[in-house]
Amino acid sequence: MSLGPLYSHRQPTFGESVFKLLGHVIGGAVLFLGLAAVSWLIGWGIHALDAIHPFNPSVFALLHGVEVAILYLDIGLSGIVLVVGAFRFIREIAQPGLTA
């Protein structure tokens, strides 16, 4: 039974591999910028509210910790997206029979 062209196991061309890698890089950039913007907005909001009515130092430290944690999560997720895309690209171009 044939599963059709969507499930074929043909070797991707070099151009298709490059296109997938660019997709991963662009997706990683969007992910990074989105989470960085969220982290920045949280930080901006915390500092704006602190200027109006100062937070208790322990609350301010907790909120700042959340902001930093989101930034670290952002860096980690973006790194994973980039590494997965690079490994997939290398795996695809290292296979024999790659066409241009």
d(Cα 70, Cα 31) in Å, to the nearest integer? 12
pTM over 0.85: no
Cβ-proximal residues to 91 (8 Å cutoff; 6+ apart), any chain: none
Residues in the chain: 100
Cβ-proximal residues to 67 (8 Å cutoff; 6+ apart), any chain: 39, 42, 43, 46
Query: pLDDT tens across 62-88, in order?
Result: 998 998 998 898 889 888 888 888 888
Task: Decide if 17 is inside a domain.
Answer: yes
Range of the domain at 89: 12-94
Which residues of the chain have a pLDDT value below 70? 1-9, 96-100
Q: Specify the number of domains making up the chain.
A: 1
Task: Decide if 100 is inside a domain.
Answer: no
Task: Decide if 75 is inside a domain.
Answer: yes
Q: Contact at 8 Å (CB) between 81 and 31?
A: yes
